[in-house]
Chain A
Amino acid sequence: MRWLAILSLAILAILPFFVPQSVVYLLGLTFIFVVYVISWDLIAGYAGQINLGHTVFIGIGAYTTALLQNPERLGIILPHLPIWLTIILGGLMAVAFGFAIGAICLRLKGYYLALVTAILPLICIQLLNVYSDVFGGYEGFSVGFGKALASSLIGKYYISLAFMLLCIIATVYVIKSPLGIKLKAIREDEELAEAVGIDVVKYKLMAFCLSAFFAGLAGAMMVHYRITVGPDLFDVPLMLTIILSAVIGGLGTIYGPIVGAFMIYLAKNYVFARIVQELSLNVSDEIFLYILLILIILKSPEGIFEKVRRMLA
């Protein structure tokens, strides 16, 4: 296990010197995507809450940093803030929303929770459109050339790699902590957990906020990686890609979702995109993603919880 992780890390560390620039760029994006997936897995795989609105946190983190870097859009004057500061503020803003959403929604049970959270990103997208003079509407906006994570591509790559590693380590730490153990207990049997004195709502809410924090950070990182922000960060296709990655890797297994995220993101943006180009099909590469998702759900409909249980058994 350990040597596998070290080996893959070593490969990733030297890779930029052997592959073309476009692949380096794509890998950098993938690292950030990995954080989307593990942060969703924290709430879905460990706390057992199906949150279909995870992209809300990603988007809020993204727009927070983008707007703080372009305060004239908000109609306010701010001193020039360093990028790392606004990225962290993006994460904190996501936590604030996570707390509010969690406090209201976590009372709802499975079905209703899924429904409410599925609707939230759509509201956000609508608001982006209505206040288009601030948020740039469906066209999004550019945070500005020169506000990238680093001026060189290699720099961006390593920052993004380091960010992923930090987030993975933090997540592992959380999972191994007493909080993580209590979350697992809640996931396995909520009533029993409550009976033995675990404050279910509190711990679920904590998990929700943590998940939101990492997602918000990742969303903000994404903005400064690609220097643009737009409603795609809120949108349903991104949510489905995250879910697909986590489900393929195996929910609640830390490393599973990471591997799943690499597979799906590279498959989507590299293999599928290439198939579409080579065959000059006039379709979006997302079509393959949806077909894959449908097939996977059909193949193992017992879905998320059972799968985890079987793997743990």
Chain B
Amino acid sequence: MRRFGILLLIALLLLGCAGEKPVEEKATPEKKAENVIKIGVIGPMDTKYGTAMANAVKLAAEEINDQGGILGKKIEVVVGNTKLDQNTATSEFRRLVVDEGCKVIIGGFSSGVALSMMDTMADLASSGHKVIWLGDASSPRLTDKVAQDYEHYKYYFRPLVLNASTFPLDMVEMLDFLKSQGLNIKKVAIIRDNALWTDDVMKVFKPLLEEHGYEIVMDEKAEKGQTDFSSFLIKAQEKADVIVPILAHVRGDSLVKQWADMKIKIPIAGHDLAAIDPDFWKATDGKCFGEIYTADGGGVPSPINEKMEHFLNAYKAKFGHLPEAYSAYGCYDAVYLYKAAVEMAAKAGEKDPFDPDVLVKYLEKFDREHPFEGVRGKIAFTKNHDLVWGDGFVRNWICQWQEGKQVVLYPNYMATGKLVLPDWIEQS
């Protein structure tokens, strides 16, 4: 009995402090709100994709703060970790919006998780906690929601990555390019994440491949954390002419290592997010030599314009290395995009330019005719808040790992080198 009493007391005490502290906290941001604007970064912080997001946002925030902030308000960055799990992700999203009082969230990753967060966003908005979300995760279902139920989902924009339905366009172009280089490619072996976004890629990719005269002979799904690809590689070598990875959650490191160790006679060419990391060469011990990949959203560290050059240098100066993953580029752009929208709203005489409802209108003004100049090229939104794909805008380039360097092979106006294949690959 006494024991029970003590336990109850502790529980009540816990409840008490649960109740007390945030009240205090809640009061402070309101006082501080005069001169601080909070930006939330949400992503899988246990991976490079997440840390790159957080780093890039912090860098942009620092730069903007040095120049006086957004309309005089200093940016404060708060980080949330999704752990690639919808439960953690949605509660972190809630925390950033409700507890921290963020007016804008940047990030995402993993379409399935992002879809859950989107419903959380709508749920929060309906209870008065509106927030702009500049998102990652490529599934078309995210922006479809904006189209279907604009009123609830309009706060979502996707400046960080392209719609997954555009990836097949790049990948087919890549296969055509390889064919033009004398490779005999007809049969395709696909290995992809067992995740929502690759289903959406496949929906477009399949008919497109058939249209271009390719044949899918294998379509295998890989589990998150899978490291053994030998059986896939053996089968692919027997049946196919090229291996097309469509991987983001599963890292391609061990795939290429085994591909090189087993001297698989067909090339790897696909959408492997891990290959975009600048330290991929080191991580795979040089085994990625010859891997061909599309660089998501153009996020490969090659100075295509002044903004990109500045970003790469600043990132290197602050963190001691190049951006560790593709996601850094989009997140850096997103902060500046947000700033531009807020300033545009203020210029137009809006009473509260930080109000998400107001900002939606101004973010939508960055369309094909009036794009925003980012590090990856022009950023413009479609009607569904998707990125505009195309030359000059954000798009995927075809790159290859050669002797420790990432070489852009295609499009021709961007190319920094020629296709090189490892000697064990059979060329006809």
Contact = CB atoms under 8 A, between A and B. Distances in A.
Contacts of B95: 22
Given A139-B110, A139-B196, A227-B119, A263 B87 contact: no
A140 B194 contact: no
Contacts of B194: 129, 132, 137-138
A236 B225 CA distance: 17
B6 to A, nearest CB: 10
B112 A23 contact: no
Contact of A151 (B8, B26, B126, B199): B126
Main secondary structure of the interface of B (DSSP, over half): helix
Nearest to B88: A232
Given A25-B94, A132-B194, A259 B11 contact: yes
A307 to B, nearest CB: 11
Nearest to B121: A145
A279 interface: no
Interface string A104-134: 0000000000000000000000000100110
Given A22-B95, A228-B119, A256-B7, A137 B14 contact: no
- Chain B interface extent, by class: 35 or more
B15 A145 contact: no
Given A18-B19, A152-B127, A271-B14, A136 B196 contact: yes
Contacts of B123: 145, 148, 227
Contacts of A132: 194-196, 221
A267 B4 contact: no
B317 interface: no
A266 B3 contact: no
Contacts, number: 146
B112 A141 contact: yes
Given A1-B1, A136-B196, A266-B14, A23 B116 contact: no
Given A25-B98, A144-B119, A255-B4, 10 more contacts: A129-B194, A132-B194, A136-B196, A138-B84, A138-B195, A139-B84, A139-B112, A141-B86, A142-B115, A227-B116
Interface of A: 1, 4, 8, 11, 15, 18-23, 25-27, 129, 132-133, 136-142, 144-145, 148, 151-153, 226-230, 232-233, 249-250, 253, 255-256, 259-260, 262-263, 266-267, 269-271, 274, 282, 284, 311
Interface of B: 1, 3-5, 7-8, 10-12, 14-15, 17-19, 21-23, 26, 45, 83-88, 90-91, 94-95, 98-99, 110-113, 115-116, 118-120, 122-123, 126-127, 129, 152, 194-196, 199, 221, 223-224
